[in-house]
Structure 1
């Protein structure tokens, strides 16, 4: 390497004599051959490097498009539906932004749900607008969970009338139900023979 440097220096000196360079010009030429003595980058290049990058939206990759999906055990294939219960004036199951669950007669953004397969015959129910999962406690009370847990799993049962019943996978014998006033009923006080547990998935 030292020999290459000396050879490069002699070449630069010869070129300097042939072109009439002075000692100062030779020093500049030799400095360009020595690592660590490269010319400083131009102002345009430095400005591009110093320019702040646009902040990335937290929680989502930069190339993510469209509405976020429910993540039930990492499974895909969710269905966007409203669960209609034909009691009283008729109610759709809804998940409110504060995590409360109830019924609403009209089609609202809070009643738009994503039903995603968790395992064979078992689904999760996710409020698209509120971003809460429907969950059932050990006492049969429905609530909205910000995280997917065992209490968010429901067995989807097709009934003879073509409605579905949703039984807690964690607590068998407990079902999602709405009263004739559109309020939730405790899952341990109802059965799939009762109309309050019958839901029709529809858009």
Structure 2
């Protein structure tokens, strides 16, 4: 019986490939339209996801903690002492010059002195100080300059529209933010790795 149906079926439906092809083309065009609509709506709904994914691709930077010493262009190590005073020291083994630099946003860091537990901060008036609690004064924009040194500018505060930078003068004293510029070598620091 099966043999007869197969033989007869083969001759009876000799045009099946054309019919089947036509059926496939019709259903594919419907399916493709549906898929196209779905893909378009997915693209629209995922457009924010694509943008989000681009932003999230920097997530590996967030929470990244580096233990460093900041060595100024004028050959001072930036330190924050037990009273929160920021200054420069020539002593390589000064425990208050060991800093933790943590990424808090893309290109933005918080710098904490490990042994005094003060954050490097800049007030609205451009004064550099040690803050016991992390706040807006502690958010610093980190940038690698053309000479290979890093600069740290206040994220929150500007002076007449110009950025204010963390800087140590030739005597190792902090400079007021209003008196600093990106190109001033007083604002240039080399992050030196501290062994764990």
Give the TM-score normalised by the residue count of structure 2: 0.63
> Quick one: which of 87, 96, 115 aligns to 1:110?
96
State yes or no: 1:192 paired with 2:178: no
Alignment partner, residue 96 of structure 1: 81
Alignment partner, residue 119 of structure 2: 133
Q: Which has the higher helix share?
A: 2
1:168 match: secondary structure: strand
1:151 match: secondary structure: helix
Q: Which has the higher strand share?
A: 2
Alignment partner, residue 149 of structure 2: 163
In structure 2, how many angstroms separate the alpha carbons of the residues matched to 1:104 and 1:183? 9
Alignment partner, residue 56 of structure 1: none
Structure 1 stretches of at least 4 aligned residues deviating more than 6 Å after TM superposition:
none
1:162 match: secondary structure: coil
> Quick one: which of 59, 69, 78 aligns to 2:65?
78
Flag the structure with larger Rg: 1
In structure 1, how many angstroms separate the alpha carbons of the residues matched to 2:129 and 2:180? 17
In structure 2, how many angstroms separate the alpha carbons of the residues matched to 1:100 and 1:110? 10
In structure 2, how many angstroms separate the alpha carbons of the residues matched to 1:136 and 1:149? 10
Alignment partner, residue 124 of structure 1: 110
Shift, 1:188, TM fit: 1.2
In structure 2, how many angstroms separate the alpha carbons of the residues matched to 1:94 and 1:198? 15
Identify which of structures 1 and 2 has the higher relative contact order when contacts are C-alpha pairs closer than 8 Å and 6+ apart: 2
Shift, 1:77, TM fit: 2.1
- Give the root-mean-square deviation of aligned CA atoms: 0.9
Alignment partner, residue 146 of structure 1: 132
1:140 match: secondary structure: coil
**Alignment map for 1:23-102 (pairs within 5 Å):** 76-87=63-74, 90-102=75-87
Give the TM-score normalised by the residue count of structure 1: 0.61
